[in-house]
Amino acid sequence: MKQNALAAGRNALKTSGYLLLTMAALVALYFGLKQIDNPPPSIQTLSDFALVLAFIMPLASIPIIGFSLYRGATRHHREEQRKLDAEHTRNTPADRPRFQPQKADPQ
């Protein structure tokens, strides 16, 4: 049951890793475009947009990672609850085998 929570943690780490790689690529794009001498306005706008997006991405990743962890934790909780409910219903007196005395043969 803990596997779901651990899988959610791994997925959150993967997501944050991908976001960090994308952020690093955007910062590299920004500095790469800044190296151009006398850039046209479209290149200047693109480089500024890349820098702004690179700094917004970590803020956007917080709810994504949080939701991933929440989803894994709730899935773990639901499976634990199902297991407990199944165990409870198996052990009710109505479900237990009853003792039935053997009837004597009428001979």
pLDDT at position 56 is 83
Residues in Cβ contact with 84 at an 8 Å cutoff, skipping those fewer than 6 apart: none
pLDDT at position 101 is 64
Asked if residue 57 lies in contact with residue 22, where contact means CB atoms within 8 angstroms, the answer is: yes
Domain residues of the chain, as ranges?
2-87
- The pTM assigned to this predicted structure is 0.48
pLDDT at position 100 is 65
pLDDT at position 21 is 84
In the chain, the N- to C-terminal Cα span, in Å, equals 58
Round to whole Å and give the CA distance between 53 and 45: 12
Q: Give 10-residue mean pLDDT values along the chain (107 residues).
A: 66 76 84 82 84 81 76 72 71 60 68
